[in-house]
Amino acid sequence: MFTTTGSRGLYKAPLSKALLLVLSSLSVLMTFLPQYHHLLTYSLLAITEQHQVWRLVFGRFICLDLKDTFCSSLLIYNFRIFERRFGSRKFASFLFGTWVLTALVDFLLVKVLHFVFEYQVNELPAGLLGPVFSLFVPFYSSIPKFPVTQLLGQISITNKSLLYIVGLQLLTSSPYMWLLALSGLVSGTLYHYNSLGVQRVLFIPRWLSHGGAFLLEPLFSGPPPSTETPPGMGATLDIQRQQRMDVLDQQMLLAQFNQPRRNQGQGGLINWNRLFPSLRRRQNHPPDLQPRPSPQEPRPSPQQPHPSPQQPHPSAPPLQLEPTAPSLDSFPVTEDQVARLVEMGFSRLDAQQALRASNNDINMATNFLLQHLG
């Protein structure tokens, strides 16, 4: 929705779709049942003194505030890119691991706050908020940013700015939301960088992942994204023409991608020389197929008339057609952008070829890699 990495929709993101549907439905349902809200609050006092441990599950799963539900749903929708990239099992393991870690960090932060400032916190906002804030850690470290526009000529707006604004809106929705945000960031850092070996302890077993995929994936699997992009309202003819050219490029790329993808001459997964022909031609390097004479060809003297195009010089060898456009392998790439793509999990060869094919446009290269290699 906000980010431009990956295609729209919930294709290859069944867990994200399930979370969006289930959490939103339960939150809307609880708005019609306010008499049961006291049973689903995330009350730390009730957990510690009355031993109501079940609040750790229900109080940290169902949002009781529709504003929190809306903001967290937007974040989950945009963070579905990690499920596409790493798979549903690893994405579920990250959510489960950070959900457990945030429960421990919540109590630790409340104890520290009470010890240092003598301030008692008895209740925190309910919902799946800690793991949502935890996802900002891989989002910050793994997703490259690129400028989209500038505000007032000074403030740069990137492809990630609006998502941070939604997170800030969720952060300011309640007085103690900052505790959950801090707990989520700490837990996300611990799990993302596998500190203390938490990934070996907190994970989804393979048998449970296979069972969930067998039962839930047919219900929550999304359709493939459409390749048609309608032109925006009020767009000029040039913009509409450019959008149609982009659509044709995407259709050509997808059609060629469905062919065998193994490149026998190189070690990558994609034959980039065949996959991006139209994109290369649309840059400012059109192939110049003008005939070039051989160096041994004698120049005509002033007394000799120039041979006509229909009648070449009798002593001249056959003309050779040499393209002057630079080859794809010789196109320079930025090492910093290659490192960013490698950090996301792609191979170095595919990252270099994608950047060469897109003329160092990291947005286009990341988008295509995430769609077809994620």
Domain range holding 333? 237-284+327-373
Alpha-carbon distance 198 to 167, whole Å? 26
117-126, 130-139, 149-158, 239-248: least confidently modelled range: 239-248
Residues 76, 206: one domain?
yes
| Pair (118, 179) in one structural domain | yes
Note whether 196 and 144 are same-domain residues. yes
| 38-43 average pLDDT score | 91
Question: What is the Cα–Cα distance from 351 to 261, expressed in whole angstroms?
Answer: 16
HEC readout, 185-223: HHHHHHHHCCHHHHHHCCCCCHHHHHHHHHHHHHHHCCC
For 238-251, write each residue's pLDDT tens digit: 555 566 666 656 65
330 confidence band (pLDDT: 50, 70, 90) = low
- Averaged over 11-15, what is the pLDDT? 86
Residue 264 shares a structural domain with residue 186: no
The predicted model gives 118-135 an average pLDDT of 94
- 47 and 196 co-located in one domain: yes
Q: Is 52 left (phi over 0), alpha (psi -120 to 50) or beta?
A: beta
Please count the structural domains in the chain.
2
The residue with greater pLDDT, 368 or 167, is: 167
pLDDT at 250: 60
- What SS3 state is found at 40? coil
- Mean pLDDT (the chain) is 77
Q: Which of 216, 225, 227 is nearest to 249 (CA)?
A: 227
Maximum alpha-carbon separation in the chain: 112
* Residue 275 and residue 192 share a domain: no
What average pLDDT does this structure show over 142-166? Answer: 84
Q: H/E element holding 171? A: helix 161-171
Which CATH number fits the domain that encloses residue 199? Answer: 1.20.1540
Phi then psi for residue 43, to 5 deg, are -95, 110
Tokens representing 152 are: 């007032």
For residues 70-92, give the mean pLDDT: 92
pTM, rounded to two decimals = 0.64
> Which of the listed ranges 38-42, 323-327, 356-360 does the model predict with the highest average pLDDT?
38-42
Q: Is the pLDDT of residue 340 over 70?
A: yes
Residue 232 lies in a domain: no
> Which residues face 43 on adjacent strands?
123
Do residue 241 and residue 356 come from a single domain? yes
Q: Higher-confidence residue: 230 or 67?
A: 67
Based on the fold, state whether residues 203 and 244 are members of the same structural domain.
Answer: no
Q: How far apart are CA 135 and CA 203, in angstroms?
A: 16
- 207 in a structural domain: yes
Query: Worst-scoring range by mean pLDDT, 7-11, 106-110, 133-137, 183-187?
Result: 7-11
Residue 219 pLDDT greater than 90, yes or no: no
**What per-residue confidence (pLDDT) applies to 226?**
60
Domain boundary among 172, 190, 220: 220
Same domain, 211 and 149: yes
- The share of the chain scoring above pLDDT 90, in percent, equals 41
Q: Are residues 51 and 187 in the same domain?
A: yes
pLDDT of 288: 46
229 or 243, greater pLDDT: 243
Per-residue pLDDT band at 229 (split at 50, 70, 90): very low
Asked whether residue 299 is assigned to any structural domain, the reply reads: no
- Which tens digit of pLDDT belongs to each residue from 303-319? 445 444 445 455 545 54
Lowest mean pLDDT of 90-104, 130-144, 194-208, 341-355, name the range: 341-355
